[in-house]
Amino acid sequence: MPGRKVCLVLLAALVTSGAALPQSAIRYDAASRVWQLSAGEMTYEIGVNDQNGLQTMYWGPRLEGPSTLASAKSYPEAASFDASLSTTPLEYAAWGDGLPTQPALKISFPDGNRSLILDYLDSKQTDGPNGDRLEITLRDRLAEVYVHLFYKVYAPGILARWSQIENRTKAVITVEQAASATLNLPPSTSYELSSLSGRWGAEWQLQTVALVPGHNVLESRRGSTSHQSNPWLAIGRTGETTETAGPVWFGELGWSGSWQIDVEQTFSHRIKITGGYNTFDFSYPLAPGQLLNTPIFYVGYTSKGHGEASRILHHFQQQQILPGAPRPKPRPIIYNSWEATEFNVDEAGQLALAEKAASLGVERMVIDDGWFGQRATDHAGLGDWYVNQTKFPNGLKPVIDRVHQLGMDFGIWVEPEMINPDSDLYRKHPDWAMSFPGRPRTEARNQLVLNLARDDVKQFILSFLDKLVSENDIAFLKWDYNRNWSEPGWDAVPLPEQKEIYVRYIDNLYNVLAELRKRHPKLEIESCSGGGGRVDLGILRYTDEVWPSDNTDALDRLSIQDGFSHAYTPGVMVAWVTDVPNFLDRRNIPLQFRFTVAMTGALGIGSDVTKWTADESSLATRLLAFYKTIRSTVQQGALYRLVAPEANEQSALEYVAEDGHQAVLFAFLHSQHYGEPFQTVRAKGLEPAALYKVNPLDPAKATGLPQQMTGSELMGLGLSLHLIGDYDSTAIVFEKVERK
């Protein structure tokens, strides 16, 4: 069976605002056999050592000029228990020769041999305007097994790494473990690991722990990225690394299936990061001549703290990853009908919501679940993607036409990868549902997972989506995915190939998304998985935005969105204003607080707007108009987390436009104690000598502020804001004044 390739869309070189940054470059010194890969303020060095192994030599602050390092040299053994293989920081070690640490690759041969020793074979380099790329080929010492390691550098500081395993033997071999890359940090006892964990409704919780000898494993075994852990990490130094200063080594994996990042501190206090496919229940047979490509692992380094690490990732995602890169379109303000109607959608009700939403200034109307098949509850209908004639007797066209007349475009909810047992599709194709024959199967939300690894399922999904979009003027799909895998069986293929489901399902998902966008170039897509269950740099190559959490409580969202921003650009972070009391926490939060929290991402509304009072509608209209004046700065600017919301009654953040002409500061007070005033907030990222006009959203909350201030004053003296009581918030815009 042919190996599946992860689609690589390598676009224009990264450009950021402000001062010019060092460009990406790859240099090779033939005498020492050392490669120096530089991007932004980072240099990564590798070399061929005296044992003909590929060895990590350096990863840290940028080194200027040709490398002065000597040739790589393997490390001596520490004892008979820890041979040179244990102590040497190998770039991509296979399991063999007694390797005791985490391998990047493990293979079984037909004769029972499971040992692999990878030696350097050759390399080739491609230089170009899209960034420099290096391919290094390793070969097993005895068998015709080859590993191609790929490196691509991007200014201002991202290195992309992935691998390709090639079988040139005359028999089928089985890949049991395949990493995209291994990364080695210098020895130290003061490293700390930051990661993002959580659960449904409480995603994106930032965790920081000291690294000690042993393994910290970040992973998903769920078939998708997961709410519980996201494939992002950052490593700093305890007592040295903060939000604004100190070294940070960071990275994220571009894969939407089961994944694993193993962070190991070895006995010699060296940090070894190995990331790629999850090893749990994994195997992938390779016939002679076949290939297996691993996901891309994107990594970087900065000396300027966690905030700068985030900004590097945000710029990289906006300009290299997202559809429309390097200039992805600003996200429109959406109205989504789910919380207003749930499954009780019909033509009259949706039109009433659309009329009201348009009057407020909304730009996109989205009909959520309930419009198709026999969908009255979540017990039936998934898989039957035809318009429900009872709810929409004239089809979707009258609604879409009216939405367009109101000046909005139209979007719709779909869940293509799922099936209800109570559906025509299941009755026709029960074998399409993922299961282990003869074993109990698990339903979640009364649904099963379609086996998208099957090409007939892939074709069905692509066909019905293409038909839906072609026959209706649909600008946007909210693509949902509401459960994890439970029985990943695939008995339609021979037993050795059944575990390929973990790779082929995701490859087919990417293929459907890519082909759908190719056929409909103007179509935009949101990745949703019961909230933040499928957010990663793999799915973001094909989707314009993501739904970070089903929890829309504004207070919870402060922490959820703060955590999200460590790994992903706010430009893709959909944030809704919804009704109170919130379904999860039962809190009543004022409408302006809910709006200002949502305005720190891609703003949307999910409330039943037909029930808003005149005052609420007037406030919403004013705030939507305000958001449109700052949208490009929020969605595409540089984010500065000024006061973190975790365990803090106050929080603040600031966005600075790419060209520096505008900045906007948001401040939040969720509760006040002892009459304590809101702390002085100091801006960041402004030009010290520039003059800025200060435009507060609420002048009463910014009394005493000068109408104009210099960048140095805003960053040095700061701002005193008059936020009081519970759930108070404001925003202040700084507009650069052109001096005469």
For the purposes of burial, counting CB atoms within 10 Å of the CB of 344, is it exposed (0-12), middle (13-18) or buried (19 or more)? exposed
Task: Find, among 460, 490, 508, 496, the residue nearest to 6 by Cα.
Answer: 508
- CA separation for the pair 314, 640 (Å, rounded): 12
- CA separation for the pair 467, 474 (Å, rounded): 11
Please report, for residues 194, 200, 237, 536, 646, the alpha-carbon distance to residue 246 in angstroms, rounded to integers and kept in the order given. 14, 33, 7, 26, 21
CA 2 to centroid of chain Cα atoms: 28
Per-residue buried b or exposed e for 422-443, using 16+ beta carbons within 10 Å of the residue's own CB: bbebbeebeebbbbeeeeeeee
In this structure, the number of other CB atoms found within 10 A of the CB of residue 520 comes to: 17
Helix axis angle, 397-405 to 347-360, nearest 10° = 10
Please report, for residues 574, 597, 631, 661, 713, the alpha-carbon distance to residue 657 in angstroms, rounded to integers and kept in the order given. 19, 19, 10, 6, 19
Question: How does DSSP classify residue 73?
Answer: -
Task: Find, among 417, 423, 440, the residue nearest to 379 by Cα.
Answer: 423
User: What six digits make up the tokens of 571?
Assistant: 């430009």
- CA separation for the pair 419, 417 (Å, rounded): 7
> Catalytic residue numbers?
480, 550
CA 66 to centroid of chain Cα atoms: 35
Tell me the sheet residues that pair with 669.
Answer: 650, 728
Task: Find, among 615, 616, 705, 629, the residue nearest to 663 by Cα.
Answer: 629
Long-range Cβ contact pairs of 106-114 (< 8 A, separation 24 or more): 106/175, 106/176, 106/177, 106/279, 107/145, 107/165, 107/173, 107/174, 107/175, 107/176, 108/173, 108/174, 108/176, 109/143, 109/169, 109/171, 109/173, 110/171, 110/172, 110/173
Strand locations in 52-103, DSSP E? 54-61
User: What six digits make up the tokens of 717?
Assistant: 């003296």
Please report, for residues 326, 366, 456, 525, 635, the alpha-carbon distance to residue 475 in angstroms, rounded to integers and kept in the order given. 21, 10, 26, 9, 20
Question: How does DSSP classify residue 227?
Answer: S
Q: Is 308 helix (H, G, I), strand (E, B) or coil?
A: helix
- CA separation for the pair 613, 392 (Å, rounded): 29
Cis before 330? omega within 30 = no
In this structure, the number of other CB atoms found within 10 A of the CB of residue 590 comes to: 16
Residues in the chain: 740
CA atoms within 13 A on the CB side of 220: 29
- CA separation for the pair 320, 159 (Å, rounded): 12
To which residue do tokens 């975790």 refer?
A: 646
DSSP string of 578-594?
Answer: --SS-TTT-----HHHH
**List of residues 6+ apart from 736 with CB closer than 8 A:** 660, 661, 662, 687, 690, 691, 692, 693
**List of residues 6+ apart from 306 with CB closer than 8 A:** 194, 234, 236, 241, 242, 243, 248, 566
